[in-house]
Structure 1
């Protein structure tokens, strides 16, 4: 009864399994269940001991006491304890469900005795600061759920397991980890010439574009190209048409967990948000698709695929863009760079050096050898990173990565 899988038991009870319903009802009060089982168990064992002793002493006299003790101990251990309890532990449902048919009426019949035993037992437990209602919670923590998903094996396809694990990790990941950084934002400056704006609208590969006035910190709207199609076919286009087609921008603070922002997107009926810091300055753009890709993996065409941030070189070396995020580097290369500090390779290098480096500069970054190749506008634009933990190319040893 006590080794039943509680989650499987509840599932079977909800589906109408009578044995599961009885067992689940009994397990709601484990003190009473243990009480009725042990009353019967001890009554039988003590009675058997008394009867065996009485018979043995009449047959063999004083020697019968030793014979009865030895024989009964072996008999009880083999046939009443070890064998049946091992069988029940291996097949709990096969034993517990039929046993519940007898335990339910026994509990009702012996309830006065059970109540007295539980009263004495619970009173003793209270002396040690323990109450009968202080049972361990059946709720699983996030890490326990991760272990459960990992051990599901072939019952859950590998891709589905990865999706479940990604959902569990949403709370650990913030908007900063998945947003398009400020320097990579493609938008429309409403102060530009109207011909330049029209050309940009006709050639852009994005569905939604932020519209700003003069500076990216002054975003005044979000333009959906579906709305822009209404006036792009007209001969005369003015900026007023663009402004009328824009939707009010949706601002969110940096540091927002992805699970919270996913709910906020659903609540606000939005698909794109402008990320700002504590001073109100724009830090980047976050979209619903970016969050969903954290769960299911990439499912849309990546515009930046033609110029990847990570370029493999020889001897386990990689040319990495300074604005490549640490999470992306770890995910693609299987590295273990810290993610609890700066979000980009440039930020991680700056944090270590505590100054703006001059190229070429070499350093060891959390065990990885880094050669800075380009520094521009006070940021590291590109660096070559060597992975000393990877086996030499051509080696038969397989590289293992942290999942």
Structure 2
């Protein structure tokens, strides 16, 4: 049989197999690149193709395994058939070499590059168009793919690598964060929106101890003061809710709300001396300092309360946290007419900042668009003490994380003011006294 006759008989089969392989490659790329949000929206609108895609994406590992398995079966089958046919026309190893060259070119161009390029360009449309054949590929080859995954896990187990059958290919939060960062770099997401979306994703990773008002900064009122003195202290406070203590600042007996105080004054006819402060106090709500912000936000909404006192594992008061503190982690600083115009960060002409030691690292990063780590310390002063492993003296200078920190003011053992430089060159010394 002549070579031309062999190729003429082989061509229709190769075209069919390579076309099928190309469709499967396009399905793989489009399914993984399709917008999950748009597919869920289309499913809610009754789109059946989107529903099939969401069903398959719910077990992404099984879907990809089935697609890869079916694609390899087709490509290997087409290569074996071509090798068998050409080996009959060309003696020795020449036929196998020719078949390898031909199939490599055909598979790479027509079964990989071309369909995947089209699928990336129109991922959502291609995924919906190929949802039915892909669904049946997963139904047929899915059990075999699960078997292959089981073999892989058993093979990796002796090396100390354990993968559960439920292991996700992508973590949802990291996928969203990566998409936000990408669109921000492309100029499609503004910096403010990027920070807000990042703040939402960070809520479950942060504890209330990282955003609370420290106990040294809490405005409190002595419950043993006279009603007139309590009213005066409440008027002088910039807050609508103030804790009251008796004897010791650790002994919080209640929380006084400005609205409750006004109502009591109205009921007494304006006679302050007749006020019974203890009767209008609200019961204090104590929460552990390890509560993450996401859980605390849900607790605030469920309890319809905006104010909680934070205690450590021994029950000692550590600070207080409000709904506003958590919202500020999402939307940034919320100022009202009673807030100070200066939030503890004062920019200097040389690009440095004079910052209060109590300012949180997260707030400073947001204000200056810096990237100082906040894993080991919450405040700027805490970061300097953690890195220096000592309580610095006034005038001492340190360089950590590409910033120069100079202690400007210190009260007893507390660093109250620092000067922090703009990011330094990578060649700058790691620390200096």
TM class, shorter-chain normalised? 0.7 to 0.9
Q: Does 1:363 align with 2:368?
A: no
Which residue number corresponds to residue 169 of structure 2? Answer: 138
CA spacing shift, 1:208–1:271, aligned 2, 3 Å: same
Question: What's the counterpart of residue 16 of structure 1?
Answer: 47
8 A contact 1:251–1:273 mirrored in 2 = yes
CA apart distance, 1:81? 4.2
TM-score by length of 1: 0.74
SS of residue paired to 1:306: coil
- The one of 126, 131, 148 equivalent to 2:179 is 148
Deviation at 1:213, TM superposition (A): 1.9
The equivalent of 1:397 in structure 2 is none
The verdict on how the C-alpha distance between 1:305 and 1:262 changes in structure 2, with shifts beyond 3 A counting, is: same
Which whole-Å deviations, capped at 9, do the CAs of 1:365-393 have from their partners, x for residues lacking one? 5264444443335423334x1516369xx
**Deviation sequence 1:173-218 (CA, Å, 0-9, x none):** 2222211222222232222233222223344432211122243212
| In structure 2, distance between residues paired with 1:115 and 1:150 | 34
Query: Over residues 7-65 of structure 1, what are the superposed CA-to-partner deviations in whole Å (9 max), with x where a residue is unaligned?
Result: 737626735243872796598555655555555555555445555566x57xxxx69x9
Write out per-residue CA displacement over residues 209-255 of structure 1, whole angstroms, 9 at most, x where no aligned residue.
11222432121111221111112343322475322222100112224
Decide which of 109, 121, 144 is 1:82's aligned counterpart: 109
Instruction: Name the CA distance, whole Å, in 2 between partners of 1:78 and 1:330.
Output: 52
Contact 1:349/1:365 (<8 A) preserved? no
Q: Larger % of helix: which?
A: 2
CA contact (8 A) 1:175 1:256 kept: yes
Partner of residue 5, structure 2 = none
> Does 1:387 find its partner at 2:421?
yes
Q: Give the 3 Å change call, closer, same or farther, for CA 378–106 of structure 1 in structure 2.
A: closer
Indicate the residue corresponding to 1:3 in structure 2.
Answer: 29
Match of 1:172 in 2: 205
Superposed displacement of residue 276, structure 1:
2.1
State the partner residue of 1:293.
328
Q: Relative to structure 1, is the Cα distance of residues 238 and 32 closer, same or farther in structure 2, using a 3 angstrom cutoff?
A: same
Q: Who is 2:286 aligned against?
A: 251
Corresponding residue number in structure 2 for 1:344: 379
Q: What is the aligned-residue RMSD (CA, Å)?
A: 4.3
CA distance in 2, matches of 1:105, 1:371: 66
- Rounded to whole Å, the distance in 2 between the matches of 1:317 and 1:105 is 62
CA 1:312–1:101: 2 relative to 1, 3 Å: closer
TM-score (norm 2): 0.69
Q: Following the alignment from structure 2 to structure 1, what is the Cα–Cα distance between the partners of residues 387 and 135?
A: 67
Deviates more, 1:176-185 or 1:332-341: 332-341
Q: Aligned equivalents of 1:288 and 1:222: distance in 2?
A: 16
In 1, the alpha carbon distance for the partners of 2:329 and 2:300 equals: 15
The counterpart of 2:361, out of the listed 326, 336, 349, is: 326
Gaps of 5+ in 2: 1-26, 426-433
Tell me the equivalent position of 2:231. 198
Distance 1:229 1:132, change over 3 A: closer
CA distance, structure 2, for counterparts of residue 123 and residue 175 of structure 1: 42
CA contact (8 A) 1:9 1:20 kept: no
| In 2: Cα distance, 1:274 partner to 1:223 partner | 13
Secondary structure of 1:273's counterpart equals strand
Q: Give the secondary structure class of the aligned counterpart of 1:328.
A: helix
CA contact (8 A) 2:354 2:420 kept: no
Query: Within 2, Cα distance between the matches of 1:289 and 1:200?
Result: 22
Q: Is the 8 A contact 2:173 2:201 kept in 1?
A: yes
Closer, same or farther: CA 121–364 of 1 in aligned 2, 3 Å: closer
What is the CA distance between 1:328 and its match in structure 2? Answer: 2.5
1:310 equivalent among 334, 338, 345: 345
Question: Which secondary structure does the structure 2 equivalent of 1:305 belong to?
Answer: coil
Paired with 1:106 and 1:278, the residues of 2 have a C-alpha distance of 55
**Count of residue correspondences:** 378
Residue 91, structure 1, aligned to residue 126, structure 2: no
User: Structure 1 residues 31 and 306, CA, compared in 2 at 3 Å: closer, same or farther?
Assistant: closer
Q: Is the 8 A contact 2:252 2:284 kept in 1?
A: yes
* Structure 2 match to 1:261: 296
Shift of 1:168: 1.7
2:318 is paired with a residue whose SS is strand
Structure 1 stretch displaced more, 361-370 or 245-254 = 361-370
Alignment of 1:203-282 (within 5 A): 203-233=236-266, 234-238=269-273, 241-282=276-317
